[in-house]
Structure 1
């Protein structure tokens, strides 16, 4: 039935939302056939030869006019059933907003992240507070990305799975604190956990940004082995070695470089992780450098994957519904016209 009707509809006709309602088309005919006839209370008690002329004077329709009214009523009912079935047309081709990458953030919460050697505005703050401020700004620029958050210390935990709700990720980051996952640093376990979360996603979209200020001192998996596993799963890792020169090494507000001051950060190990997975390794000794690094990651991991083109369905039940109403009104008005 729907295929027959489709021949009389526009080429962009996409079908009916509720085609089963078209089964109601023969309902009036079935009722007329199955139900007993109603006695005509208006039938004449006395038949006279000039009865038809009296009917015309009284405004009653003749047989031809009754057939015309019945045809209008049938057309109105058919259009009403078509409207109830909700015909739909395909709209013009649209391309939704571009989708982004799946990006996992891994943030170090070990004890050394509590070192107060970072400048944020006019205040001296600890490393974690500075990292939170920069990451919050980074999240604001990742519209269209699905972002997840892993924190690690002695162990690694997922605080937020991959989600488009960046506000939730930001809030989870703000609520984290130094030592939440232990005082040591399990870089290998953090990489392994991120790889496990990203492995089910399409290749080319699996990215991990790992921020730490120390060396691997805990965990069941060595960072280099974890990086090899990530490479095999198509996960690209950008590493950030973060940290200043340690607390108490400022003279009149000027940080002093001390011998061995950078030894607590395993820059060489983090660079090996990035090189193995095809990522980039960065070093940030202050907040300004960290801001520049995340801006560079924005350029390395752009939001450029286009969404799939779609054609929306447009409801067109109003057309047959309006035509049905017009035919119904015409059928109701027709019998009132007098015969000449």
Structure 2
């Protein structure tokens, strides 16, 4: 018997001897049949000085009938015990983290120095392509999107609906937030989103290929505020520093990550970006929790179905045998 087999109502097994108790304790069922009066019946009664009385006979069953009925009863009792196969508690993804992607969509992200499937493409298109897969893998996280350039704006508030987040990602394009790069503003806008939410675990992924414009909120000041608010920032630089006119400020991105307990990554091409997202999955793994509901497979329909099938077959067999018996009696009567 498998370890996961379980009987919900074992007390029902006490009903197994019930038919025997009924057989022993209750009187037999006497069946009446029509009597055939013989000629001179009343004279015979007077002659014997006996009074006519009502009579009945006890219909007896054969051993085979008793065996079938007992098997049917056992199957019904087995169904009443409600046998089950109980699986192990399922594990479900626990929603315990806000994961915010803060992406640079300034004009520099329009450079066509990356490739998708061997074809030249804009940095932003390549980033979007890989980011889609990353978002879909974050089931359990509440994802949000902030895009920035000269200004920063919220594209998608925190939501567990990753399909909607992916659609909102598709709607964004280079230049929608202006041509400059304001990293400090972007971090500050992300912190505003975290302030309005209740989940304690807060993770931000800051993605840029440029250098802060230098006016307004300074990136390190915004990062210090993030540290105080327990927001961890992973920074991701796009491009190759010192190559092709790149002005990526790696030093600032490294300081932001170090200050908040995160980590800095450099993505020189799409393949490296995919590797980085895989590393992020390991650094911020999905959390699982055991559910109270265990998968249960009910087994009672099987003995119940067999019992019903035996009852129907035995009834049909009894009718068939009775019909043959009547047919033979009539045939013998005709010969007589």
The answer, yes or no, to whether TM exceeds 0.5 is yes
Matches of 2:237 and 2:279 in 1, distance apart? 15
Aligned match of 1:194:
190
Compared CA separation, residues 206 and 190, structure 1 to 2 (3 A): same
> 99, 108, 111: which one pairs with 2:94?
99
Aligned length: 208
Matches of 1:121 and 1:311 in 2, distance apart? 45
Q: CA deviation at 1:144?
A: 1.5
Aligned match of 2:266:
283
Matches of 1:124 and 1:212 in 2, distance apart? 20
Deviations 1:64-95 (A, max 9, x none): xxxxxxxxxxxxxxxxxxxxxxxxxxxx9966
Local SS of the residue matching 2:234:
strand
Compared CA separation, residues 174 and 93, structure 1 to 2 (3 A): same
Is the counterpart of residue 171 in structure 1 residue 167 in structure 2? yes
Matches of 1:216 and 1:192 in 2, distance apart? 13
Local SS of the residue matching 2:224:
helix
**Is the Cα contact below 8 Å between 2:240 and 2:246 reproduced in 1?**
no
> 179, 197, 204: which one pairs with 1:183?
179
> 110, 123, 126: which one pairs with 2:122?
126
Is the counterpart of residue 149 in structure 1 residue 145 in structure 2? yes
Matches of 2:89 and 2:135 in 1, distance apart? 28
Aligned match of 2:248:
265
Local SS of the residue matching 2:272:
helix
Aligned match of 2:112:
116
5+ residue gaps, structure 1: 1-9, 11-91, 246-258, 313-340
Listed as ranges, the matches of 1:15-30 within 5 Å are none
Local SS of the residue matching 1:179:
coil
Matches of 2:127 and 2:118 in 1, distance apart? 16
Local SS of the residue matching 1:97:
strand
**Is the Cα contact below 8 Å between 2:93 and 2:289 reproduced in 1?**
yes
Q: Which has the larger radius of gyration?
A: 2
Matches of 2:215 and 2:194 in 1, distance apart? 20
Is the counterpart of residue 306 in structure 1 residue 284 in structure 2? no
**Is the Cα contact below 8 Å between 1:154 and 1:219 reproduced in 2?**
no
Q: CA deviation at 1:201?
A: 3.1
Deviations 1:238-279 (A, max 9, x none): 00000247xxxxxxxxxxxxx554751001100000000000
Compared CA separation, residues 120 and 93, structure 1 to 2 (3 A): closer
Matches of 2:148 and 2:258 in 1, distance apart? 22
Matches of 2:120 and 2:243 in 1, distance apart? 22
> 240, 243, 249: which one pairs with 2:236?
240
Deviations 1:5-36 (A, max 9, x none): xxxxx9xxxxxxxxxxxxxxxxxxxxxxxxxx
* C-alpha RMSD of the superposition: 2.4
TM-score calculated relative to the size of structure 2: 0.58
Q: CA deviation at 1:202?
A: 3.3
4+ runs of 1 displaced by more than 2 Å? 92-96, 199-203, 259-263, 309-312
Local SS of the residue matching 1:133:
helix
Q: CA deviation at 1:139?
A: 1.1
Aligned match of 1:140:
136
The structure, 1 or 2, with the larger RCO (C-alpha pairs under 8 Å, 6+ apart) is 1
Aligned match of 2:208:
212
Q: CA deviation at 1:197?
A: 1.2
**Is the Cα contact below 8 Å between 1:184 and 1:218 reproduced in 2?**
no
